[in-house]
Structure 1
């Protein structure tokens, strides 16, 4: 069989087809044989086929036949021995090929018992036929000959190479089905992002002729996400591969209006092609119907299922479809798919679930602007406001379609801005109706929980939310699970522990919840149950308009500037259960501000808080006390960080249900609140409460207390005994000198933090009793040594002793801590000797000995088997890299090591060659050492990504560097003269290059001209080669290409063709620049005077201008933004970077003909007089912009200039050739 692919023009999306296939054949040759078999096979596959049964034909082809050809998507031409003798057939063929040229019709030739060369060159029987045609049809002969020649060159089938006609029929039908499947992708106009989802769904369906199992795939997701659309597209693509198929639409809606039996009859009658089929009982009953269904390989789609009975009736255990059958179910309710799994548990029937996901941002933008006219797209404000709408839709296709249509109707900027505001206040009714269906299907318990989450608990910790909802008399565990199954909420994980999982809800669903709340009293928010919009809340609280119906108030402080509360603000809200004031960062995540809140609270007194309150979160509370009438008996959580509280409440309070209290950074607090009756308290946070001097003794009786955080309570000197269930105890920066003896017996204590407790001088021998201790933080204490009994802490993972000036040594038994992952002795200036590692420490990954005084690592250091990071910065006595860690003797043992940091080890003068044999070494920092050169073996380091040479004052040259290196900091290497082999490294490593690279040669004042040229030309070559490589890989989602280089000097390279003195430049864009596939982007280069700044960067903005006077601004603020660190000489420096312009290769920028660039530079330096950092504006002396192309033609002088550095001429030539090939392949 020949290849089944043939090139053809793209079909017009608007072209409609009446037939799938047109059969062209000579009746006398094949009508009753091959053609009849092929036609029957196509019909069985549900492929609509046109076949002309006229036995007698005239000389002129009938108009109806020409029309049938034009209305067919594909033509099969059966070229038999006497095909050319029929002028009718030849006219058909000529017209078929015309349709191929005009509409992209697919054409498949079948050479039936004839040599294709006879057709191509009109030999044998074809030659004889044309002898007769030459006499009668001279004006048509040439057209017919051309048609036959063209047809013979198309990919098709030669029957002589296929044994049986039945096999030939099977191959042809299979090829047609495959072509139609591929063609479906061209019929997906308007279905943005669906191709990848089709692939995922078809992969789950496992369409395989050898697969005899029945398989169900459930498409589960929220309303409007595109479940039905996806199911429909896949159904259309695959239905021809099954003996029978049926798409049963709107099951939920139709189940309400008709009996389920009628839907079952509709499904079965279509699958069995039996219109008389009627089953009126719950049981199928008829054994014959069951047998017929069990023999049929079917494809069934059940759309919008929402009830168990629907599945039991339509595809339950009584319904057995034939081997290889596939069922697709779309639903919003995960429970239905679990029911399906249960119905077929143990049977030869698989059930899998596919979660329908929202569109990503790029797909959403494309869909939103799909039907925009060119004129509309050119407006900058239109694009910006459109982006805001797209962000609001959060990837829901239905919302994007509806809002996109409405947005296009707006005639002015004012209308569009008004439309955006209206969306948030009055959501589109069509969308609300979609989500209301799911809400209406909920029970009373689930509806209440849904509204609480929509109006209050979205973003809250799951565990705590369940507690609070249970306290309201609801059944949170089962209710939340049902809401998840119904696609109304989800649970997100922050990735650390199970306790950090939080409730989440799509904004559109949340708005539906808000709308339901508004329906209670549209004009009187004080009579609603849950308040969550700032305007409504401010109105109710400031005007004292609350009522007993209000149960929750959730106020986003970032959306208001002031709040004027009267003393009676909460007087009428006597049933209020939840009160939350919170902040929201730019990414939409919640936080509870205690420092950076700009809201002015005009509150001089508060007479009343409802006793019904379960939860209070009120950061920056401005009063000294809570209302004296307030009873905290129902309170489960109180959070008032940054408050002005002096005393929380009187001793008469009985907050028995209180589980968590957070009064952190309440600096006026003079005593710990009376919590003696809080027998259920679990967490107490009093961090930063500098007025506290002691922890009450009754804390010992709070048996459920697991976490106490009093770090930063600088006057706290007395800590009482703690309950035995303590898990976390944070006492950092307190005045505590001794811990109660009972603390050292707490078997459940996991975290003990004594950071900055200078009064702590030793640890007791009984520390071994802390069996569960995982984190031990002793940084900044006055301890001199650890007790040998520490070896009993078998679960200890993190030991931090940073800045312990008096700490002298670790006990020799440290190697017995087998779980230890991190030891940090950074800044332990008295630490001189590391104990010998007598036993393997398989899990120790990070060892930080920076700032210590030891000269060498201990013997048997290779026993630290698992270590990934060795940090030795500032070890000025450290003389050499220990041989014990170097390959080959320990290459296997030390292979996990990925980071080696020797910063400021001023005695180190040489890096051993063999260190680069560490096969996982990814980062090497030897900055501030006395090395003069790097060994040439560095280019053999297979994974080295970061190399820091900063302030290596004796370094004179760089060898050929590894090709994966993406971070190189050689700043302040004032003797560095030569830089070799950059372009060679790029040539060798292109296939594995990373897209983000920064090379810094700041203040390298001795660099020669060849070195500077080599550095800058490498920048240009890398930009071109990497982008060409990425484009060749056809990865639309590849990361944005970034290359930045900083280098001392003041001469912009010649390949940056457009140059100008000063900080701005105006250039003309190439004609149709955005459509040129070879145009990779722009290279920028500026000369900046850096003035000894210790941190500096560059950026800029561009203004794209069209011929009609419009302008559109594009910021370059992120480029070259990584700082230049370390004092340097006053000198000019080159900063170069690249931008692929991916973000501006769409409207409104594409119509621009000119673009102006404004560059800026800034930094920070230390003001010795003011003793603080201050901002410095730096001067951009010269700037340049160059066009970067993938191919070699000299456009605007962008070709690479001659490079004189070692080995660079051949490298540049080979690289030019290489990326030219990449861009063409």
Structure 2
């Protein structure tokens, strides 16, 4: 029976080569030691040593053909040597120029002195580490070779009788046979020769490929973590057929990652074949091109040319040939379902254990093809980006001292995009510092074409309306926060927004509660360059004006045209500018106008008088300089009106037809006396009147806006009363702070839809029948006794807590996240996992309930928050309370050696307490995570033991302060089914809302609560905030949600 055992002398399989050098120095040769001469220049990859009469036209010929079919360079004496050349010298030279020697020991091998001379030379070079020997025992026993017994003994008996053969030669040959016979190889006895040949050629192909990776690993940065996560997704031990997708924006490194994975995995002997199909998008313009790709796929796997002329026939052949083969395939840069259908239409096409990697810029395409395992390649963080840039610019991992600042400028420009970092770094290599400065200035005016060409591929694949959306985002919203709702109000469809996200042209905010959209700066630059190229010399012929020089040129010289759809000027000019308002009249298709007024800008005429309004949808004019809008200004299609910090005194008289208006912002317009009649704007959703200090009256028409969701009346210090808001069916958020209002409206007069009501004022009075209802945030500013009375909530305390407890139970519906803080806090005794310090390890063995929750606790030193003196007065504490800070908690989940970071930022309205003239020690924070198993699965953590580490620090507009010491931490698993038996739920609220408010348990709870509140009047204050989240949003929101807090009662 033929067997193969790995030899210590053979190279290890690790990577896939791209090509093999035929006349260059091998890296393997450089590393080998043992001879002082220069490394060999290999001409052949395999030298075949065999006895011709035994195997030339049988086994050796079959092996030779298979090696050649796999592209391996083979020396075989009867085909390679030139006529008339002395055979021994040519053979010796061929051996010295080969990487591998395959020695086929057959029954009569030792009878040939030329075979023995070959073998002696082969063994000598193997000992010098210049050659790898692979022996094949062709129907002979390896023992006979090692010990020169059997037919090998007969051969040496004949050699020893030959007077022409010296004894030194026979001794050398015997020694060569001993050594070669001791090397693990293939013993052909009763196995099929074709199977042995496949094993030999497969091993050689893999080992040769592994020495020539397509990437220089010394020039790759942060690749290991990507590879590790991909290997986890591939799960090589599983027998299922698995498709794994890699997606991300152009130039981020998807192809590089796929190539490295292919280098590593394709050489795995578990696979029966592999294929890397590059540039699929580029190569598949027609059906014939698809057939060509199918041919390439099958030919690489089968290592022979497979003719395919029609892509439908190609599908049939792929199914037929590969359905029982375990293969590894990479399809790179796929951008259409037709390509995937032709090359990997279904998992059933491939044998068990097969793996198919698909790289694409389009995440939706992967989902459409039911690729369940996907990995998004993200941009590099700054440190790694600088390292990659330095490798290209300086050929080392850090910049030269004099170039540090300029290097950071280019790194910031690239924003972590590997393509840009390498292109710019390579271009700047060995250039003088003046050239660096020149290139930096040039990039501000003209983008690098190599970078732009790659990025534009994604844009070219968009539909017309999607291109318009992209260009608007790149040119008109370039410095603004943009939401779905904003874009929809401007006439765009949500589906097109999603397409741009799926193609990695825009991205959602990393903070789950925030729906803002953002775009990489290089993509913005690409979009702006596309607009500039519409008419490079005449700005008035372009669709969008966003460079201030172009805008001044058009408005000064009156060169506007119908081509202009949008205008942006959002910074103050340093010099005085006179602009012609009448120039706007030629822009009849203007739909977007964003302007920042400045004292240095003087208009000749009223701009809004001349501005066409037929298509105008978005108007933002910060600092608008006139006291009202002209009567001729009738923007019927307007959806967004923003005129913050304007000089408006009265916007317009009477109602105005604004049926499409959704956002109305006059914030900080200090001259505004009253809001306009909004009867003609029934679809308004958002009104912002923050900082309108002279606003005395809110027009009652606001009370008829049935679609209004948010109303902000911050710092309206002259406002004394609110209009009737009871009919606002959709109102969810109402902010009334720092006004002259003294009467808090009864909750019965507020919409039932409200989820957030923030009310602060001076000399507040409250109806004794006030019912807190469903409101979840309530602040009042005033005297000390008023503050204490607010915390009590009178007799309604248990109601708001009852709401909290009930919603916590609804883990399958609107799941709740609850987090809190408390002073003088100690981790409860019933918490199962506790530790002194900042980390704790939990055991999830046996935890299978998908609704199992997890409560996290930490205790910090309160002196690090507000180190106040013992004589601190109550009034000073209130002033400190107004100056809010953010406490940021960082939680690190670790399993094995891999780390998963999720940042959670909680904003605490925190006031240090007084107790007998001294500050209490210790402040505690806690977070409750519903469905913790699903959360850990979201973080891709699947282990029994999980280590959780905590960090805390103060954060404000100036940045992060030093870390706050974590004194204790703890973790407790919470089973929702425990209900009233749960120590955790009993510590914050009655668990079931079904418990009657008249029941004994609720009464007992209220008495306990009242006692705790009484104690808190002596020891300090807490704060609370409850946030609803859908189950889909939950895990994205949980550790990034900026929660205010839910009060920890420590019952």
- Determine if the TM-score, normalized by the shorter chain, exceeds 0.5: yes
Counterpart mapping for 1:644-723 below 5 A: 644-651=647-654, 653-722=656-725, 723=727
Of 497, 500, 506, 1:480 maps to 497
Task: Map 1:346-357; keep pairs closer than 5 Å.
Answer: 352-357=373-378
- CA deviation vs aligned residue, 1:149-181 (integer Å, no higher than 9, x gap): 9x999xx74889x99999999998887777668
Task: Choose from 345, 349, 367 the match for 1:320.
Answer: 349
Q: Which residue of 2 aligns with 1:415?
A: 435
Q: TM-score, normalised by structure 2?
A: 0.63
CA distance in 1, matches of 2:522, 2:477: 16
Distance apart, 1:891 and its partner CA: 5.4
Is the Cα contact below 8 Å between 2:117 and 2:173 reproduced in 1?
no
Aligned to 1:428: 448
Deviations 1:1123-1151 (A, max 9, x none): 99xxxxxxxxxxxxxxxxxxxxxxxxxxx
Alignment partner of 1:445 is 2:445: no
Distance in 2 (alpha carbons) for counterparts of 1:335 and 1:399: 25
Looking at structure 1, the residues matched to 794 and 54 of structure 2 have their Cα atoms a distance apart, in angstroms, of: 95
Say which SS state the counterpart of residue 710 (structure 1) adopts. Answer: strand
Aligned partner of residue 776 in structure 1, secondary structure: coil
Matched residues in 2 for 1:766 and 1:170: separation?
85
The answer on 1:368 being equivalent to 2:389 is: yes
Q: Is 1:746–2:698 an aligned residue pair? A: no
Distance (Å, rounded) in 1 between the aligned partners of 2:334 and 2:303: 24
Mapped partners of 1:434, 1:88: distance in 2: 54
Consecutive unaligned residues of structure 2, counting only runs of 5 or more, are 13-25, 32-38, 810-816, 839-854, 872-896, 902-950, 966-1051
Residue 188 (structure 1) aligns with: 216
> How has the CA–CA distance of structure 1 residues 455 and 926 changed in structure 2, closer, same or farther, with 3 Å as cutoff?
closer
Aligned equivalents of 1:666 and 1:619: distance in 2?
A: 10
CA drift at 1:454: 1.9
Instruction: Report the counterpart of residue 575 of structure 1 in structure 2.
Output: 589
> For the Cα contact (< 8 Å) 2:666–2:688, is it kept in 1?
yes
> What SS is found at the alignment partner of 1:804?
helix
CA contact (8 A) 1:754 1:781 kept: no
Q: How does 1:1208-1219 map to 2 (within 5 A)?
A: none
**What displacement does 1:736 show?**
0.9
- The residue correspondences of 1:72-87 to structure 2 (distance < 5 A) are 72=99, 86-87=116-117
CA change 1:11–1:704 in 2 (3 A) is same
The structure with higher relative contact order (CA 8 Å, sep 6+) is 2
Displacement of 1:522: 0.9
Establish whether residue 48 from structure 1 lines up as the match of residue 72 from structure 2. Answer: yes
How far apart, in 2, do the equivalents of 1:188 and 1:448 lie? 41
Contact 1:297-1:322 within 8 A present in 2 as well: yes
Structure 2 distance, partners of 1:696, 1:663, is 14
- Cα displacement string for residues 647-695 of structure 1 (whole angstroms, at most 9, x for unaligned residues): 2233353333221122222222222233232211111111221111232
List alignment gaps of at least 5 residues for structure 1: 342-349, 583-596, 785-802, 822-838, 844-864, 874-880, 900-918, 928-945, 954-989, 995-1041, 1045-1116, 1125-1225
1:513 alignment partner in structure 2: 527
Greater shift after overlay, 86-95 or 356-365? 356-365
* Structure 1 match to 2:413: 392
| Native 8 Å contact 1:113 1:159 kept in 2 | no
Counterpart contact for 1:728–1:751, Cα < 8 Å = yes
Change (3 A) 1:91 1:225: same
Q: Is the 8 A contact 2:92 2:121 kept in 1?
A: no
Q: How does 1:917-996 map to 2 (within 5 A)?
A: 922-925=858-861, 927=863
Seen in structure 2, the aligned counterparts of structure 1 residues 663 and 68 have a Cα distance that, compared at 3 Å, is farther
**Structure 2 counterparts to residues 522-561 of structure 1, below 5 A:** 522-557=536-571
The question of whether the paired residues in 1 share the 8 Å contact of 2:508 and 2:517 is answered with yes
Q: How many residues matched?
A: 815
Question: 2 CA distance for matches of 1:744 and 1:639?
Answer: 29
Tell me which residue corresponds to 1:940: none
**1: CA distance between counterparts of 2:575 and 2:665?**
24
The CA deviation string for residues 458-497 of structure 1, in whole angstroms up to 9 with x for no partner, is 5543323332331xxxx5223223333444x233134242
Tell me the distance in 2 between the aligned counterparts of 1:247 and 1:544. Answer: 57
Tell me the distance in 2 between the aligned counterparts of 1:638 and 1:742. 31
2:1005 corresponding residue in structure 1: none
Summarize the alignment of residues 328-347 of structure 1 with structure 2, pairs less than 5 Å apart: 328-341=357-370
Q: Does 1:92 align with 2:122?
A: yes
The alpha-carbon distance between structure 1 residues 116 and 652, as it changes in their structure 2 partners (threshold 3 A), is farther
Q: 1:492 to 1:147 in 2, by over 3 A?
A: farther
Q: Give distance in 1, aligned partners of 2:11 and 2:546.
A: 59
User: Aligned in 2, Cα 1:12/1:528: closer, same or farther, shift over 3 Å?
Assistant: farther
Instruction: Give the Å deviation of 1:64.
Output: 5.7
Please list, as runs of the form range in 1=range in 2, the aligned pairs for 1:475-874 lying within 5 A after superposition: 475-487=492-504, 489-497=505-513, 500-557=514-571, 564-568=578-582, 570-581=584-595, 600-603=599-602, 607-609=606-608, 610=611, 611=613, 612-651=615-654, 653-722=656-725, 723-725=727-729, 726-741=731-746, 744-755=749-760, 757-767=761-771, 770=773, 772-773=774-775, 775-781=776-782, 804=787, 809=792, 811=794, 814-818=797-801, 869-872=821-824
2:517 is paired with a residue of what secondary structure? strand
Q: 1:650 to 1:4 in 2, by over 3 A?
A: farther
Q: 2:485 corresponds to which residue?
A: 464
Q: What residue is the counterpart of 1:220 in the other structure?
A: 247
Return the alpha-carbon distance in structure 2 between the equivalents of residues 483 and 196 of structure 1: 27
SS in 2 for 1:450: helix
Q: 1:305 to 1:728 in 2, by over 3 A?
A: closer
| Matched residue SS, 1:256 | coil
Matches within 5 A, 1:268-287: 270=299, 277-280=307-310, 283-284=312-313
| CA RMSD across the alignment | 5.9
Cα drift, residue 721 of structure 1: 0.7
Following superposition, the deviation at residue 317 of structure 1 comes to 6.5
Give the Cα–Cα distance (whole angstroms) in 2 for the partners of residues 1118 and 683 of structure 1: 31
Partner of 1:585: none
Kindly indicate whether the alpha-carbon contact (under 8 Å) linking 1:490 and 1:505 is maintained by their aligned counterparts in 2.
yes
| Residue matched to 2:1016 | none
Q: Distance in 1 between matches of 2:578 and 2:836?
A: 59
Q: 1:337 to 1:28 in 2, by over 3 A?
A: same
For the Cα contact (< 8 Å) 1:656–1:677, is it kept in 2? yes
Question: Take 1:519 and 1:491, find their aligned partners in 2: how far apart are those partners?
Answer: 26
Distance in 2, Cα, partners of 1:180 & 1:399 = 33
Instruction: Give the CA deviation at 1:577.
Output: 1.5
- Structure 2 vs 1, CA of residues 249 and 715 (structure 1 numbering), >3 Å: closer, same or farther? closer
Secondary structure of the residue aligned to 1:618 is strand
SS at match of 2:771: helix
Which secondary structure does the structure 2 equivalent of 1:617 belong to?
Answer: strand
Q: Please give the alpha-carbon distance, in whole angstroms, between the structure 1 residues aligned to 2:395 and 2:577.
A: 46
Distance 2:721 2:866 in 1: 47
- Whole-Å separation in 1 of the counterparts to 2:822 and 2:74: 76
Contact 2:636 2:658 in 1 (8 A): yes
CA distance in 2, matches of 1:137, 1:560: 99
Render the CA deviation track for 1:51-102: whole Å, top value 9, x for unaligned. Answer: 6567999999645655565453x667899999999453232233244455xx
> What SS is found at the alignment partner of 2:619?
strand
Deviation at 1:708, TM superposition (A): 1.4
CA 1:76/1:404 → structure 2, altered by over 3 Å: closer, same or farther? Answer: farther
* TM-score of the aligned structures, taking structure 1 as reference length: 0.55
Distance 2:754 2:959 in 1: 45
* Equivalent in the alignment of 2:1043: none
Contact residue 67 and residue 201 of structure 2 kept, 8 A:
no
Is the partner of 2:641 in helix, strand or coil?
Answer: strand
